[in-house]
Amino acid sequence: MNLPTPETTARPRPTTDSDFLRACRGEPTTRTPVWFMRQAGRSLPEYLALREGVPMLESCFRPEMVVEITMQPVRRHGVDAAIFFSDIVVPLKAIGVDLDIVPGTGPVVAEPIRRREQLHQLREIEPDDVAGILEAVHGLVGELGATPLIGFAGAPFTLASYLVEGGPSRDHRLTKQLMHSDPELWHDLLGRLASIAGAFLRMQVQAGASAVQLFDSWAGTLSLADYTEFVAPHSRAVLESVADLGVPRIHFGVGTGELLGAMGEVGADVVGVDWRVPLDEAVQRIGPERSVQGNLDPTTLFAPTEVVHAQAARIIEQGRGARGHVFNLGHGVLPETDPDALTRLVEFVHGHERH
């Protein structure tokens, strides 16, 4: 496989002037760009048809499926960016961690990692471990033309929460127990996860991704003090590992109202905001040096169209005070969402005049 070198990726790409990248950089846009977290997935009948009989993780390692599933929402909704179809646990699977994605549950780890002797499992990731995935990224970039591709990774804390708990958790009790009772092991664990996530993001950009998003979905479970001490240095290391590549870095978590400033400061160009904080208030918390992404409540899409569009209009107005605004939901598309509601929302956002 011929992957471009960093030198070739530094050349202007057809995506450079897209509204999405302009908003991420805080430059004027012709209209508000929009994409949706989890836009590729179970809300789309064409996704369900393609995935029939293929386990989730297996589909993530099949380049032709990754390309097709990533393209589906771009074709259907006309969104301003694609996010490559994968999952935050894919790089861990690729280096040999015994885990699976259980339908309706999420990632489940066979032997939860809670002891120092287990850390060796989290070795550095190499391009060969994810050759098929990088091939898919490379192919996608060709197919997408001027539409930017967002690469992504799970942030060290959110990855650690799955590894330590062994699966999804409501209170993250065991994760926090490890963090507070063995800080040295904690920092070693998060340090390894940061290396993996950083290297994986770098490979995606070198294969042609135009932006990256670091998902720290469950960081909102932490106090600001714990976030700052136990998590921020590792998220900063991840974002730092792609700083020289010149692509926008988006950083997102759920329930992170009290962490928005801190999440920006670890090296994000764009901070993703969930629906709990009004976007204009979030802009105040994040400051003038970063753009914002968000923040329609995903369940609003089950309301009448007038309600959805009224809320979208409010969010666009609230985003005007930001350096740049990328419209999105405040978390992922729910599987039960009517795809037509998403298409109508894209049309509305694109057509909405900013006053």
| Position 209 contacts ligand CP3 (CB under 6 A) | no
DSSP 131-158: HHHHHHHHHHHHHHTTS-EEEEEE-HHH
The pair of three-digit structure tokens given for residue 2, joined into one six-digit string: 């011929």
Query: Which CB, 26 or 221, lies closer to ligand CP3?
Result: 221
**C-alpha triplet 109, 111, 115: angle, nearest 5°:** 120
Measured distance between the N- and C-terminal CA atoms of the chain, rounded to whole angstroms: 48
User: Cα dist. 152→82, 92, 199 in Å?
Assistant: 11, 14, 11
10 vs 165: CA distance, rounded Å: 40
Q: Does 88 bind ligand CP3 (CB under 6 A)?
A: yes
Instruction: Yes or no: say if 211 and 250 are a contact pair by the CB < 8 Å rule.
Output: yes
Shortest reach from residue 98's CB to ligand CP3, in Å: 16
Using CB under 6 A as the binding rule, the residues of this chain from 57 to 86 that contact ligand CP3 are: 83, 85-86
| DSSP one-letter string for 33-84 | -B--TT-SSTT-HHHHHHHTTS-HHHHHT-HHHHHHHHHHHHHHH--S-EE-
Choice between 26 and 74, CB closer to ligand CP3? 74
The residues carrying an active-site annotation are 38, 42, 51, 87, 162
Identify which range of 31-39, 110-118, 224-232, 345-353 contacts ligand CP3 by CB under 6 A.
31-39
CB of residue 280 vs ligand CP3: minimum separation in angstroms? 24
Binding test (CB under 6 A) with ligand CP3, winner from 42, 123, 236, 344: 42
Q: Which is nearer to ligand CP3, 109 or 349 (CB)?
A: 109
Q: Is 256 in the site for ligand CP3 (CB under 6 A)?
A: no
Q: Which residues bind ligand CP3 (CB under 6 A)?
A: 37-42, 56, 83, 85-88, 101, 103-107, 152, 158, 215, 217, 332
